[in-house]
Amino acid sequence: RAPLRALLGIGGDSGEPLSFDFATGGGAFMVAGPPRTGRSTTLASMAVSLLLGGTQLVVLTPRDSQLRQLAAHDLA
């Protein structure tokens, strides 16, 4: 697994993993949607998969964001 490949989830009829490679996929990636649609969960999943692949991250969040729990993984 490439260090800059972030797992997005499982999708399609085959149930294969969907991912985005930040090394080859361009300079930006956006997670958008209305409140309570899983944006933070998607970002947290991507961050954990990047951390487990050895990528170092800097995460800036509002005080009440669930993304603050990334520090509990002892990888951030």
pTM surpassing 0.85? no
Pairing of the two strands 16-21 and 5-11:
antiparallel
pLDDT digits (tens, 9 = 90+) for 4-55: 999 988 887 889 999 999 989 877 889 999 999 989 889 999 999 998 888 8
50: left (phi over 0), alpha (psi -120 to 50) or beta: alpha
Instruction: For the beta carbon of residue 38, count every other beta carbon within 10 angstroms.
Output: 12
Count up the domains in the chain and report the number: 1
Could you list the residue range(s) of the whole structural domain that residue 39 is in? 5-73
